[in-house]
Amino acid sequence: MTCRICGAEARLWGDRGDVALYRCLRCRFISGRPAREQPADERYENYYHGAPPAAPSARYQEWLARAEAVVGRGRLLEIGAGSGGFVRVALARGWVVDAIEVSRTGIDALRATGTNVFAGDVTAAGYLPETFDLVVSLEVLEHLPAPLTHLRELQRITRPGGLLLLSTPNFDGLTRRLLGLWWRVVDPEHHGYFTLKSLKRALREAGYSRVTVTSRSLDITSWRRARDGKPVSFDPQTSARLRDAVDSSRLLRAAKVAANILLGLTGLGDTLLTWARR
């Protein structure tokens, strides 16, 4: 197939049956091709079902405080806002918030917050150029078949000097190295897999001038191999309970901080956290 970033030839890296991964010969980006294409509205219609897990509010507070030190409290857009965990924290801090979501169940929860909600893709929302002080995109980029087009749109609607806060899985992370194709992140719904280098390159090509990408966190709930030839599924409730248990312990919280420093230095964290300035 052709690379979803640069359009060059991409060679097969691995095939699990339900999804095949291709590495670009030019930019080294990993493109995913599902065995069966499914329309986005069908795939995500009831994505947020059941009671949502507790939001990592302390983490959101930390990120928003960092953004406010640069751009103040202004207008914020969250892409793929889900059931509204980040939106609620931002509203409580005094931001004017817009949210974009494609899942019907997520849209219903977002509208209950009173924020401005657009149902669909950001490229169809029709925002004016230079509208937002902060754009937030958490675990969205890997779902998109045209990630560079998406990043260029986010850059266009961010004001000069404004910020992008973005996270996406790290294909060079420790868990992918351990589990290979059986990491839960390798999934038919994911169309692209970034490394630290390929994400930096894409953001600069999209027009961001100052880009900082660090790797952090370990997906330890996936640290058992799949049974019966299937990847271990992600349980958001279990993940939230584990996170809260760590954060409630001074010793475990200190160990987590130390681990994230090490993961940032080695590039082995399972998540890429990005701050980019327009």
What mean pLDDT, rounded, does the chain reach?
Answer: 91
Q: Does 14 reside within a domain?
A: no
Q: Does 139 reside within a domain?
A: yes
Token pair for residue 195?
């490394």
Q: In this predicted model, which residue has the larger pLDDT, 222 or 263?
A: 263
Q: Does 60 reside within a domain?
A: yes
Q: Kindly report, residue by residue over 86-106, the tens digit of the pLDDT.
A: 999 999 999 999 999 999 989
Domain count, the chain: 1
Q: Does 25 reside within a domain?
A: no
pTM of the model: 0.91
pLDDT band at 250 (very low <50, low <70, confident <90, very high): confident
Q: Does 9 reside within a domain?
A: no
pLDDT band at 237 (very low <50, low <70, confident <90, very high): low
pLDDT at 70 over 80: yes
Show the domain range for 236: 39-277
Measured at the CA of 168, the angle between CA 206 and CA 11, to 5 degrees, comes to 75
CATH number of the structural domain spanning residue 80? 3.40.50.150
How high is the pLDDT of residue 235? 66
pLDDT at 230 over 80: no
Which of 28-42, 98-112, 220-234 comes out lowest in average pLDDT?
A: 220-234
Which of 37-51, 97-111, 125-139 comes out lowest in average pLDDT?
A: 37-51
Which of 36-45, 116-125, 154-163 comes out lowest in average pLDDT?
A: 36-45
Residue keyed to tokens 């038919």: 188
Q: Does 269 reside within a domain?
A: yes
Which of 12-26, 50-64, 106-120, 228-242 comes out lowest in average pLDDT?
A: 228-242
pLDDT band at 55 (very low <50, low <70, confident <90, very high): confident
Q: Does 1 reside within a domain?
A: no
Q: Does 31 reside within a domain?
A: no
Q: Which residues pair with 22 in a beta bridge?
A: 12, 31
